[in-house]
């Protein structure tokens, strides 16, 4: 049911796109060919994706990949949805700090909570990774998995992104939704492999990306199974279990998927290790970096950004001939809502 | 490809079964109805499984379960294949000790290795869990994930079970293969949730059970991503990451699957927590215990067994009306090779 809703949304986007451009002969031919990537402009990125998929799914090709080996992994933050001005999960954590503050009067004088309560972003960033971890532990643990899921869903239904004044889940990338569906239609099994929290993603990825909950690899805290008042619960503990970032990504892929991917999509240096891991397999592979170059529709950043830095990854992509999406040039639309605004 | 081979094997088993019994009118009617569980005798277990599946997949039923919620979990040792006289992974570990012994002359005087090298089972069992852990750490770590997979595959191709003198993977249960396929045909997503090592299971479960590698939850040791001589590898470290047993099973289910199962199949007290977790969900659920009652064709054991003890689980199953398979009564065949021997 979720899947059909999802297909309907994607499909209506596709139809809208085709109708919008129906006077252009190029789009006319797309219509007859059932263009799988209607929000992608003609160019190297689009062509190389389609060539790869057509090649490895062709049984006659020397590059043919068996269905069971068609594993595709996608980073999430900055790759399937935006990550500016901060990772969206941090906005969630900050809102949680404000909500829980009445029960923690000590936070008014204690960093990093003080910075959050005073909306002092520069101080918060100064608190670094250790500060962020402290916030996550204080806001993501203590409750049961069911309670936490309810909190995430509720937050997503009311929170608004500061720049776009829209739900955060509106800020997913239309071209990436099409890419996921295109790969799924060609019998790729699609996984998210994110530094974000697994249990922060699971409540919404199924509906938004059509990726099942069990195909989400991410960071996690420890949990514990208990019988409380006769009812079995899983309680979230304030202790890191696994950080699924950088060298952790191939480790997470190995643990959860157990097979080397043949398609890897990411946008930052945090994705470089899983790109290298994917590239190291035998046979044809596809490594895809998203380069944020569009300050008008989204954001432009790379080597100097603290969130989503793309520096070594850009060099390695150039050196090894991996495909780099130029967001500004390659994407007709960034967000699904642009389709309705035209 | 693997999937079709698998279906062919199951199907040929099914046809053989039907042909064998073609003089019985009961079996004749099975043929016209395309019996999904031909190796199961008529009785409460078989009936309750079929009633459950028919009920929850019927859109008109108040018990209907959406496809995305059809999560089925199966313990492995003693539930999908035998576990006697010892967990098969321990035979693997013991063979590894013998293979690695020339590089470890100190093992000749050091327990638990000494017991293994001297085939002294009673001493080995005395060494307890700590001893077993020591053996696993010494034999399952140090190599890369690719090397380990090769070692497991090679062992499975040459090792023979002491009682049956057959490859260990011959000792899977034909009725359970049919049950897995029946659930898959009804759009259940089937997972293994085992105390055994994930990376010990992954090399063969796909072919043997038709369960993809990423649908295997199990115990694991830590791993590390490294670039060695320019090549990315994942190296296995001699450090426990996670024990997927007892209360660990619902924790593993939550971590890997992220959704409460609606169908849970196990055979020991080690599966009780995941039974309770499954049972605690809203809507219709199915909890299935396999009781080993067949000393002639397999083994008979329950409350007093050190391997695969079923004691509290049996009490709780009786108290709560969970389905308990009586292997001797309920199964026409235990192992697939019996089909060819008749």
**8 Å CB contact of A1 and B66:** yes
**Which residue of B258, B264, B270 to mutate against A (max A Cβ within 10 Å)?**
B258
Compute the distance between CA of residue A148 and CA of residue A139 in angstroms, rounded to an integer.
Answer: 10
**8 Å CB contact of A223 and B255:** yes
Residue range B137-166: mean pLDDT, rounded: 96
**8 Å CB contact of A251 and B212:** no
pLDDT in tens for each of the 342 residues of chain A?
A: 344 444 544 544 444 444 444 334 334 444 446 899 999 999 999 999 999 999 999 999 999 999 999 999 999 999 999 999 999 999 999 999 999 999 999 999 999 999 999 999 888 888 888 888 889 889 999 999 999 999 999 999 999 999 999 999 999 999 999 999 999 999 999 999 999 999 999 999 999 999 999 999 999 999 999 999 999 999 999 999 999 999 999 999 999 999 999 999 999 999 999 999 999 989 999 999 999 999 999 999 999 998 899 999 999 999 999 999 999 999 999 999 999 887
Per the rule left: phi > 0, alpha: psi between -120 and 50, beta: everything else, B195 is alpha
Tell me the chain B residues in contact with residue A148 when contact means C-beta distances shorter than 8 Å. Answer: none
Compute the distance between CA of residue A240 and CA of residue A66 in angstroms, rounded to an integer.
Answer: 37
Per-residue burial over B259-270, b = 16 or more CB atoms within 10 Å of its CB, e = otherwise: bbbbbbbbbbbb
- Return the HEC string of A261-276: CCEEEECCHHHHHHHH
ipTM of the complex: 0.89
**Partner residue opposite A213 with nearest CB, options B202, B231, B258:** B258
The full DSSP string for B127-156 is THHHHHHHHHHHHHSSSBHHHHHHHHHHHH
- The closest alpha carbon to B81, from B13, B145, B174, B166, belongs to B174
**8 Å CB contact of B234 and A224:** no
CA distance A8 to chain B (A): 17
Q: Which residue of A has its CA nearest to B279?
A: A232
Tens digit of each residue's pLDDT (9 = 90 or more) over A12-69: 444 444 444 433 433 444 444 689 999 999 999 999 999 999 999 999 999 999 999 9
* pLDDT score at B33: 64
Tens digit of each residue's pLDDT (9 = 90 or more) over A190-222: 999 999 999 999 999 999 999 999 999 999 999
CA distance B313 to chain A (A): 15
Please count the CA atoms within 13 angstroms of the CA of A296 that sit on its side-chain side.
7
Compute the distance between CA of residue A228 and CA of residue A222 in angstroms, rounded to an integer.
Answer: 18
**8 Å CB contact of B254 and A277:** no
**8 Å CB contact of A232 and B199:** no
**Partner residue opposite A225 with nearest CB, options B214, B256, B273:** B273
* pLDDT score at A130: 85
Tell me the chain A residues in contact with residue B69 when contact means C-beta distances shorter than 8 Å. Answer: none
Tell me the chain B residues in contact with residue A206 when contact means C-beta distances shorter than 8 Å. Answer: 68
Compute the distance between CA of residue A188 and CA of residue B45 in angstroms, rounded to an integer.
Answer: 37
Percentage of chain A exceeding pLDDT 90: 82
CA distance A232 to chain B (A): 6
CA distance A44 to chain B (A): 28
* B313: enclosing H helix or E strand: helix B312-320
**Which residue of A202, A255, A272, A273 to mutate against B (max B Cβ within 10 Å)?**
A255
Tell me the chain A residues in contact with residue B264 when contact means C-beta distances shorter than 8 Å. Answer: none
CA distance B5 to chain A (A): 13
Compute the distance between CA of residue B215 and CA of residue B200 in angstroms, rounded to an integer.
Answer: 14
**8 Å CB contact of A251 and B257:** no
CA distance B29 to chain A (A): 35
Tens digit of each residue's pLDDT (9 = 90 or more) over B238-253: 999 999 999 999 999 9
Per-residue burial over B225-241, b = 16 or more CB atoms within 10 Å of its CB, e = otherwise: beeeeeebbbbbeeeeb
List Cα–Cα distances, A167 to A6, A161, A172, A217, in angstroms. 17, 6, 10, 23
**Which residue of B205, B210, B254, B277 to mutate against A (max A Cβ within 10 Å)?**
B254
CB B71 within 8 A of CB B189: yes
Please count the CA atoms within 13 angstroms of the CA of B308 that sit on its side-chain side.
27
- The closest alpha carbon to A199, from A153, A160, A158, belongs to A153
Please count the CA atoms within 13 angstroms of the CA of B207 that sit on its side-chain side.
7
**8 Å CB contact of A214 and B258:** yes
List Cα–Cα distances, A24 to A29, A38, A306, B277, in angstroms. 9, 13, 41, 57
- The closest alpha carbon to B216, from A311, A257, A331, belongs to A257
* pLDDT score at B301: 98
**8 Å CB contact of B232 and A273:** yes
Compute the distance between CA of residue B138 and CA of residue B291 in angstroms, rounded to an integer.
Answer: 34
Q: Which residue of B has its CA nearest to A145?
A: B254
* pLDDT score at B19: 41
Per the structure block, which two tokens stand in for B293? 């009652």
- The closest alpha carbon to A192, from A120, A271, A139, belongs to A271
Positive or negative, the CA dihedral A104, A108, A113, A116 is positive
CB A93 within 8 A of CB A140: yes
Residues 6+ apart with CB under 8 A from A246: A269, A270, A272, A273
Beta-carbon count within 10 A of B26 CB: 10
* pLDDT score at B217: 98
In total, the C-beta contacts within 8 angstroms joining chain A to chain B are 104
**8 Å CB contact of B234 and A254:** yes
Per-residue burial over A96-125, b = 16 or more CB atoms within 10 Å of its CB, e = otherwise: bbeeeeeeeeebeeeebbbbbbeeeeeebe
Q: What is the 8-class DSSP label of residue B233?
A: E
Residue with tokens 């659930």: B183
**8 Å CB contact of A251 and B225:** yes
**8 Å CB contact of A198 and B251:** no
CA distance A164 to chain B (A): 31
CB B262 within 8 A of CB B277: no
Q: In a 3-state reduction of DSSP, which class is residue A57?
A: coil
Tell me the chain A residues in contact with residue B280 when contact means C-beta distances shorter than 8 Å. Answer: 231-232
Percentage of chain B exceeding pLDDT 70: 90
Phi, psi of B107 (to 5 degrees): -65, -25
**8 Å CB contact of A220 and B247:** no
**8 Å CB contact of A258 and B231:** no
**Partner residue opposite A254 with nearest CB, options B71, B145, B276:** B145
**Which residue of A197, A248, A254, A287 to mutate against B (max B Cβ within 10 Å)?**
A254
Per the structure block, which two tokens stand in for B112? 């638990």
Residue range B187-209: mean pLDDT, rounded: 97
CA distance B280 to chain A (A): 7
Compute the distance between CA of residue A199 and CA of residue A23 in angstroms, rounded to an integer.
Answer: 45
**Which residue of B255, B260, B281, B319 to mutate against A (max A Cβ within 10 Å)?**
B255
CA distance B293 to chain A (A): 30
**8 Å CB contact of A256 and B257:** no
Phi, psi of B219 (to 5 degrees): -75, 155
């Amino acid at each position: 049911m979720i899947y059909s809703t999802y297909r309907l949304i994607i499909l209506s986007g596709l139809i809208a796109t085709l109708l919008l451009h129906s006077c252009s002969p190029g789009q006319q031919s797309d219509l007859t060919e059932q263009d799988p990537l209607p929000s992608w402009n003609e160019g190297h990125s689009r062509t190389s994706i389609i060539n790869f998929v057509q090649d490895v799914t062709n049984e006659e090709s020397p590059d043919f990949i068996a269905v069971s080996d068609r594993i595709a992994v996608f980073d999430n933050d900055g790759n399937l949805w935006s990550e500016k001005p901060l990772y969206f999960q941090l906005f969630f954590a900050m809102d949680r700090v404000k909500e829980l503050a009445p029960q923690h009067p000590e936070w008014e004088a204690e960093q990093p909570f003080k910075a959050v309560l005073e909306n002092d972003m520069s101080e918060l960033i100064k608190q670094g990774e250790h500060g962020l971890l402290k916030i996550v532990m204080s806001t993501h643990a203590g409750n049961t998995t069911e309670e936490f899921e309810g909190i995430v869903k509720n937050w997503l239904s009311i929170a608004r992104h500061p720049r776009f004044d829209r739900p955060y889940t509106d800020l997913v990338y239309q071209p990436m939704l099409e890419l996921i569906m295109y790969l799924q239609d060609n019998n790729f099994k699609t996984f998210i492999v994110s530094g974000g929290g697994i249990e922060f993603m699971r409540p919404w990825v199924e509906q938004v990306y059509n990726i099942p909950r069990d195909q989400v690899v991410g960071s996690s805290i420890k949990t514990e199974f208990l019988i409380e008042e006769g009812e079995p619960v899983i309680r979230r503990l304030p202790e890191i279990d696994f950080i699924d970032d950088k060298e952790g990504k191939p480790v997470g892929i190995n643990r959860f998927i157990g097979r080397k991917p043949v398609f890897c999509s990411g946008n930052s240096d945090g994705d470089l290790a899983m790109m290298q891991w994917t590239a190291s397999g035998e046979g044809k592979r596809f490594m895809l970096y998203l380069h944020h170059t569009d300050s008008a529709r989204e954001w432009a950043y790379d080597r100097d950004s603290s969130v989503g830095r793309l520096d070594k990854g850009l060099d390695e992509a150039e050196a090894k001939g991996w495909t780099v999406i130029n967001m500004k040039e390659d994407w007709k639309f960034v967000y699904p809502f642009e389709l309705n605004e035209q």
